Amino acid sequence: MKAAILYKIKDIRIEDIEKPTIKPDEALVRVKSVGVCGSDVHYYLHGRIGDQIVKDRHILGHEPAGEIVEVGKEVKNLKVGMRVAVEPGISCGHCEQCKKGRYNICKDVKFLGTPPVPGAYREYLAYPAKFLYPIPDSVSYAEGSLVETLSVGMYAVELAGLNVGDDIAIIGCGPIGLVTLESVKSAGAGRIFMTDMINQRLKFAKKHGVDSAIDAQKENVVEKIMDLTKGRGVDIVFECASSVDTLKQSIEMVATGGKIIWIGIPPEDYVSIPVHTVRRKEIVIKAVRRFKHSYPKCINAIAGGKVSVKDMVTHNFQLEDITKAFSLVENYADGVIKAMINI
């Protein structure tokens, strides 16, 4: 089978490798679509994310969907020909957090595309059946791959405990910010404010029901949101932009007694924040670690028209053109929201 193999920084090669064989509890998936995530591009450019380092040849990609072409003898709930979304984290199932149902923070999780676990930019994937979720024919493979992205937004809203009518700020209009937008709308949010520095993304947010899309290059976003809320601030801030400045903005724009959900992953390991403001406002801050128990809900939401992710896919590439896709995403070029690799 063909696979895109990262040899070193900015060096991906399309090569033939051995097609995988399945274990009794696995299925073989013919990969159809894989979304390009910012983390893929980060590994491509830097060879690492924090202490997760690419030390050898490696296959990236963790947002796949595809068709089952073979099932193991122990697999009862899946059949050949089924179309599936692939949940990329394989948790151990035995540790304290797994037993509590919080498998997203399993210390021994194996996550597709995260070194040393090979990812999904390849034609076939042997995978545990319990992490494969059927998608109906009405859901495209591209939408199936976006279940992974949507799951982050849905889980973030779940963590936030959003109440109907809550005022919301979402910092960042990239794919995670936009799926968070879809998630807060489906949960009954009140006014929704979004910020970004890329005009095309702000326009996209406006098309999808944002009350105010604020250009951070032209306006002080904290002052603007405080003005729009008559000095109160918002009930919940979802930080999706991954910078030190936006982490601080989230504290400044949230209302007294409000909540902040940090989704973005800043490049720095340590940041300074105004702790006295946090204390005086009695702010609750929660951090998001991927998602849990989200795939069935997200598939149902897409299939039932409760959320829309289809037009987030602005660019499509074949596997052979993966470096072009990475370059596009790296440079935020041509109005890209989500690039999709079709295999």
Same domain, 17 and 86: yes
| Phi-psi region at 143: left, alpha or beta (left = phi > 0; alpha = psi -120 to 50) | alpha
DSSP assignment of 233-260, as one string? -EEEEEE-S--HHHHHHHHHHEEEEEEE
Secondary structure of residue 49 in the 3-state scheme = strand
Same domain, 138 and 199: no
Q: Are strands 212-215 and 192-196 parallel, antiparallel or unpaired?
A: parallel
Same domain, 142 and 172: no
- Integer Rg of the chain from CA: 20
In a 10 Å sphere around its CB, with 0-12 CB exposed, 13-18 middle and 19+ buried, how is residue 211 labelled? middle
Q: Are 19 and 31 in contact (CB under 8 A)?
A: no
Per-residue model confidence (pLDDT) at position 317? 98
Per-residue model confidence (pLDDT) at position 101? 95
Same domain, 140 and 159: no
**Rounded distance, CA 247 to CA 225, Å?**
15
Per-residue CA distances from 160 to 26, 82, 134, 144 (Å): 35, 34, 28, 25
Find where tokens 């702000």 sit.
202
Residues 120-147 have pLDDT tens digits of 999 999 999 999 999 999 999 999 999 9
Q: Name the residue among 133, 19, 14, 119 with its Cα closest to residue 66.
A: 133
Element of type H or E holding 90: strand 89-90
Query: What pTM value is reported for the model?
Result: 0.94
CATH of the domain at 59: 3.90.180.10
Phi/psi at 298 (5° precision): -70, -40
User: Which token pair is 29?
Assistant: 């998936």
CATH of the domain at 267: 3.40.50.720
Element of type H or E holding 26: strand 26-35
Q: Are strands 124-128 and 26-35 parallel, antiparallel or unpaired?
A: antiparallel
Decide if 302 is inside a domain: no
Per-residue CA distances from 106 to 97, 115, 153 (Å): 6, 16, 20
Tally of domains within the chain: 2
Decide if 299 is inside a domain: no
Decide if 295 is inside a domain: no
User: Which token pair is 45?
Assistant: 């450019």
Q: Which residues, at least 6 apart from 2, have a Cβ–Cβ distance to it below 8 Å?
A: 14, 15, 16, 17, 122, 123, 319, 343
Same domain, 160 and 218: yes
Same domain, 208 and 134: no
In a 10 Å sphere around its CB, with 0-12 CB exposed, 13-18 middle and 19+ buried, how is residue 246 labelled? buried
Per-residue model confidence (pLDDT) at position 210? 96
Full pLDDT tens readout for the chain, 343 residues: 999 999 999 999 999 999 999 999 999 999 999 999 999 999 999 999 878 899 999 999 999 999 999 999 999 999 999 999 999 999 999 999 999 999 999 999 999 999 999 999 999 999 999 999 999 999 999 999 999 999 999 999 999 999 999 999 999 999 999 999 999 999 999 999 999 999 999 999 999 999 999 999 999 999 999 999 999 999 999 999 988 899 999 999 999 999 999 999 887 888 888 999 999 999 999 999 999 999 999 999 999 999 999 999 999 999 999 999 999 999 999 999 999 999 9
Per-residue CA distances from 20 to 70, 82, 125, 220 (Å): 11, 19, 7, 52
User: 164 is in which domain, residue-wise?
Assistant: 152-287
Same domain, 138 and 160: no
Residues 102-115 have pLDDT tens digits of 999 999 999 999 99
Decide if 294 is inside a domain: no
Q: Are 55 and 114 in contact (CB under 8 A)?
A: no
Phi/psi at 328 (5° precision): -60, -50
| Phi-psi region at 209: left, alpha or beta (left = phi > 0; alpha = psi -120 to 50) | left
Decide if 301 is inside a domain: no
